[in-house]
Amino acid sequence: MDNECARVRAHTLIMDTSLSLAQTPTSWRGSLVRRIREFRLLARDPALFVGVLVAGAFILAFILLPLVRVITQGFFTPAGEFSLQYFARYFEPGYARVYWEILGWTLQMGVLTALGSTTLGFIFAYTVVRCNIPFKGLVHALALLPTISPPFAIALSAILLFGRAGLVTRDILRMRFGPGINDIYGLDGIIFCQIITFFAIAYLILRGLLERIDPSMEEAALSLGASKWRIFRTVTLPLLTPGIAAAFLLMFVESLADLGNPILIGGNITVLSTQIWIAISGEHDLQKGAALSLVLLLPTLTVFILQRYWVSRRSYIAVTGKPTSGAATFVKEPIVRWTFIAFTTLVLLLIIALYITIFVGSITKLWGINNTLDLTHYEAVFKRGLEAILSTTFLSALATPLAGVAGVVIAFLVVRKTFSGKEAVDFMSNLGGAVPGTILGIGYILAFIRAPMFVVAIIYAALAFFFISAVSPKASLRWLVFGVGSFLGIAMAWLSYDAKMRDSVAWNYLSGGLTWLPTLQQTQWLFIAAGILSALALASLVFVEDKAKRRVFILLCFMALYLLSRELILFITDPLAIWGRRMGGSYLPAVITSIAAWINLVFQPPLAVLGFTYTVLGGFIVGMWGARTRVAAAIFLLAVCCALTFYGEPLALVGSAYIVVAAYTVRSLPATVRASIASLQQIDPAIEEASTSLGGDAQHTFRRVTLPLILPAFIAGLIFSFTRHMTSLSAIIFLTSPKWPILTALILSEVEQGGLSLAAAYSVVLIAIVLTAIGLLYFWAGRTFRANWETTLGGG
Amino acid sequence: MYLTLEHITKKFPGRGQEGLVTAVDDVSLAIGKGEFFTLLGPSGCGKTTMLRLIAGFEFPTSGRIALDERQLEQVPPNKRDMAMVFQSYAIFPHLTVFENIAYGLRIKKLSQDEVRRRVAQIMTQTKLTGLENRMPNQMSGGQQQRVSLARALVVEPKVLLFDEPLSNLDAKLREEMRFEIRDLQRRLNITSIYVTHDQEEALALSDRIAIMNKGKLAQLGTPEEIYELPRSKFVADFIGLANFLPAQAQSVQDGWASVQVGAHALRVTALPHDAAQQSALIFIRPGDIKIADENAVENILTGQIVKATYLGEKIDYRVQVDETELRVQTSDAKRRAVGEIVRLYLPPERARLIGEA
């Protein structure tokens, strides 16, 4: 009850602060004061506050920080000196020609791919919606096939079919490729592959729009005496223009960001994305990679902003929102209809041929030379690649619910709540998936190779703010807890630092007095932290009111136990791995060691992440703690949380599996956010208010009303996320480690070593995993996901 | 009084440069137990905001709300013991009719038997029996409206709130539901607050009506008072049809005023606070004006018919009197042609001086 009141008060006050601002003339100082005040008031609505904080922290650490690091790194040498070296190359005589040529090819590729795939997408959409093509479902499914396959699948089979030893080019057309003869490798090859790979998204966007055009508008034009062609030109096309522009821009960005196709089929042509890839993987020059990334980022970002703030506002159709249920209008002129149908069918046949080729290629001994069928490639795949298959699937699956939940939370905040920075949260959550994956990957290396202390400190401070807001209404007591708790925590973290780390930490001078503290082993240290938590758990039996006693005790015990489990679990997983390695057979050892690694992964999250989580949980615990000993308990609890946060090198994640999980999550976040936003916006707020007015609190309402209603979109988001994780290449190519190999990166290296058939076998396995997962989720979700599948993909 | 609102003001941050928008401006109301109270007004007058303030979905910028001696400003909507019937029905689309109605009872953690008993009872009262297992999308608008009503009634709230519940129904069904709502409310004696922009609905349903305009309370009274004695041009214009005739008030005395309209002198009703003034306004309903015969002399205006519309039981004339076009509705069987000059009789007890505001 007490809590409820506080929440309501907070609500009212927030409204009022935002009002008082409107009255005063806006100055940056006034606005800053207001933000801080609002932030403080926000703390009284715990659910909203934690939601905003966690979303904000995630976005700050895994989207904003990496991007900022990429942008700045381009201007600094590894030694830290300011340098425009790589930007200057565009004007240096020795380099300029090559650099401009690459830029020229890149833009040419982007524009032509965008043109081609938008046109193809339109033709498909028009054929499906207006030409009454038979087997509509099949057409739809086939058109979407490229979106669920690895990014270079098309390039792979294009080489098998049309390459120098290609089935069509050599065996059917009997072409001989000497020097100077145009082959599939090169810009035309890239564009061909990209068009096939990306047009499905344009198709989905335009199909959605075409379906929503009210037939009565065209009928109105017809009744006014317009001819069919005139109607198309003056009514249909203008209504589609925003969609066409959106599709074009999206295709342009996708093309520029694409890494797989240019690497595979680019031949002598280098585009920006491959140039960056070479700079990082081949030359190990992070500055060059970052500088070129900025060049790539500029057009991408421009298009992203253009799309978001200009094109989307120009849409006429989205305004009415409702898909018309009325009878669709079909093209009646047989010539037009059959031309469209014939063209679509031809493209579909091509797609089918490309995919059959991948499959046939995977079971052919040596493509083009020895065409006997056998399964040796699959044997090799499971022998050499089993670990990659297992770890990719596991990490993708692990990131899937994360992206889904994060998407729902962000969408809920954006659609239903009012707070400063809402627009920024919305924008940033989309940005992480919109920038080219290579850029994000480089950003992750730059951001997480060392501990990003600054960002960790900011996130800690924000969460600690939530923590102390539960302590007492008196500001002095709150700051006392914050100061003493954080100091004790840092002192405790200091115990984990070795001499080198102590030297490098920026607040060395602040903690100068602490240098005498001995360095502790991780195990010892964890026992101390868990000991404090256990002591607090025991104390809670005495000092917490009866009503909340059980909850607080169990929570604290769980926190202590989970902390220890990262050590204890090794007693299970180590023997398991050793036992597994001794097992005979070619597959079993890999499977068992992988399982051991997965278990470790679940029990050993980065301590900083644990520290953040415990700080939030601690806020709730302190709120339930008895008033008399609350301050003391809060100090100790915050100290442990702070110590965990700053233990060792917080968030130095490069080389770990978590960085891959984070990259996956960020990449699929826009889709889950957008799917959830779309479905939340369709839910009348009155439905939630009805639940509230009948006595349901916020939590009850969300669980019983909102969640069931957005479930279909949520599941569609999960399916899309998993697919995107499994098939993503550019974002994780720099993040894989020997311990956590990733399938797409592995396929790429197989191709480079010339094993086209082996790469094809890998691709088939990957597509099979994705299809199985979709099938499973589809089975689980019943028929619900179909309708939402398109909204999810459509946004791109 | 049961539910009291004192000096309620609600301001919203405006869009862009607008600053603050005042949605409700210093409104005080006191509503009795079991009363059917209606907030009536044009869209944007603040009536829905008022309702949402009472429900707790919005919190007043200033002012106090109390229900049954309990202060409500700090109480969230789910703890207010009120239930709302929404314009869009707001039925949970993923739950059956039974589960929709049982929703509030389950939150109260009633036993399964009790839930079943009470749901069955309310379903009988709202004529929904037999539809227990239907999904909302398998029902007509009227049925959905009943479910929405049943869902709110079943929790036996202290106050029942209606937000234009009938505006999505067709005219005939609307009238039918109107009676049902009134009937149920009387029978269960639930204090009800009803928001609508439909004056006919307000007149038919309410014990008392509060007319709102631009966030302010324009007039408060029983349906008869509001219709018969509108205190301002706004209220008179909003409720029913009204003619306004610019005039000069010559003298005011004993509840009567002598006024001059162009060349005609008239006698009309005056309220105590009315005074003689240069420019006044005469208010009369179109049905109260009679078309007089040749020999009537008192309270007569002369004008020319510019338009005649046949409405079935009555005929609607537009009559040009000097600069003003008067609307006259008569059930007089004799039809008059456009262009005809007619003499209009304004009964002194039906024509009134009225304030401009």
pLDDT for residue A43 is more than 60: no
Task: Assign A517 a pLDDT band (cuts: 50, 70, 90).
Answer: confident
Which tokens go with B188? 């269960």
CATH classification of B3-235 is 3.40.50.300, yes or no? yes
Q: What is the pTM of this model?
A: 0.82
At residue B251, the 3 state secondary structure works out as strand
Task: Assign A312 a pLDDT band (cuts: 50, 70, 90).
Answer: low
pLDDT at position A177: 66
Between the CA of residue A99 and those of A259, A271, B100, what are the distances in Å?
A: 18, 10, 66
Q: Which among B51, B86, B82, B57 has a CA at the least distance from the CA of B165?
A: B86
Q: Which among B234, B231, B226 has a CA at the least distance from the CA of B209?
A: B226
pLDDT at position A780: 75
pLDDT in tens, A607-634: 999 999 999 999 999 988 888 899 999 9
For chain B, domain boundaries: 3-235, 241-347
pLDDT at position A514: 65
Find which of B59, B65, B115, B195 to mutate to test the A interface (most A CBs within 10 Å of its CB): B59
Find which of A693, A700, A701 to mutate to test the B interface (most B CBs within 10 Å of its CB): A693
- A92 to chain B, any CB pair closer than 8 A? The answer is no
Which tokens go with A532? 């404090």
Counting one residue from chain A and one from chain B, the pairs whose CB atoms sit within 8 A come to: 94
Kindly state the average pLDDT of the residues A31-43.
63
Kindly state the average pLDDT of the residues A452-469.
91
Could you say which architecture CATH assigns to the domain A86-374? Answer: Orthogonal Bundle (1.10)
Q: Is the ipTM of this complex over 0.85?
A: no
Between the CA of residue A423 and those of A297, A364, A410, A420, what are the distances in Å?
A: 21, 53, 11, 8
Q: Which residue has 């396929």 as its token pair?
A: A747
In chain B, % of residues over pLDDT 90: 51
Q: Which of B11, B104, B148 sits opposite A695 (nearest CB)?
A: B104
Supply the mean pLDDT for chain A. Answer: 84
Rounded Cα distance, A191 and A438, in Å:
19
pLDDT for residue A139 is more than 60: yes
Rounded Cα distance, B232 and B283, in Å:
10
Task: Assign B262 a pLDDT band (cuts: 50, 70, 90).
Answer: confident
Instruction: List the single range of A51-55, A73-77, A334-338, A503-507 with lowest mean pLDDT.
Output: A503-507
pLDDT at position B78: 87
Kindly state the average pLDDT of the residues A10-24.
38
pLDDT in tens, A248-294: 988 999 999 999 999 988 888 899 999 999 999 889 888 999 999 99
Rounded Cα distance, A675 and A408, in Å:
9
Dmax over CA atoms of chain B, in Å, equals: 79
Kindly state the average pLDDT of the residues A185-192.
92
Yes or no: say if B20 and A22 are a contact pair by the CB < 8 Å rule: yes
Kindly state the average pLDDT of the residues A727-754.
88
Q: Which among A667, A708, A714 has a CA at the least distance from the CA of A404?
A: A714
> Strands B324-330 and B62-67: what pairing?
unpaired
pLDDT in tens, A543-588: 888 888 899 999 999 999 999 999 899 999 999 999 988 887 778 8
pLDDT at position B138: 85
pLDDT for residue B104 is more than 60: yes
Residues in chain B closer than 8 A to A31 (CB atoms): none
pLDDT at position B173: 87
pLDDT in tens, B287-327: 999 988 877 778 889 899 999 998 888 899 999 988 889 99
B76·A8 Cβ contact <8 A: yes
Strand partners, B166: none
Which tokens go with A207? 């199909």
Between the CA of residue A722 and those of A395, A767, B88, what are the distances in Å?
A: 10, 12, 37
B155·A705 Cβ contact <8 A: no
Q: Which residue has the higher pLDDT, B67 or A546?
A: B67
Residues in chain B closer than 8 A to A705 (CB atoms): 92
CATH classification of B241-347 is 2.40.50.140, yes or no? yes
- Assess whether the region A1-9+41-66+375-449+655-796 and the region A86-374 belong to the same CATH fold: yes
In chain A, % of residues over pLDDT 70: 87
Residues in chain B closer than 8 A to A708 (CB atoms): 94
| Chain B residues interacting with chain A (CB cutoff of 8 angstroms) | 11, 13-14, 19-20, 55-57, 59, 61, 73-80, 82-84, 86-88, 90-94, 103-104, 107-108, 148, 151-152, 155, 161
B13·A687 Cβ contact <8 A: no
Yes or no: say if A202 and A247 are a contact pair by the CB < 8 Å rule: yes
A693·B108 Cβ contact <8 A: no
In chain B, % of residues over pLDDT 70: 96
pLDDT at position B15: 62
pLDDT for residue A7 is more than 90: no
pLDDT at position A787: 40
CATH classification of A1-9+41-66+375-449+655-796 is 3.40.50.1980, yes or no? no
For chain A, domain boundaries: 1-9+41-66+375-449+655-796, 86-374, 450-569+604-651
pLDDT at position B2: 92
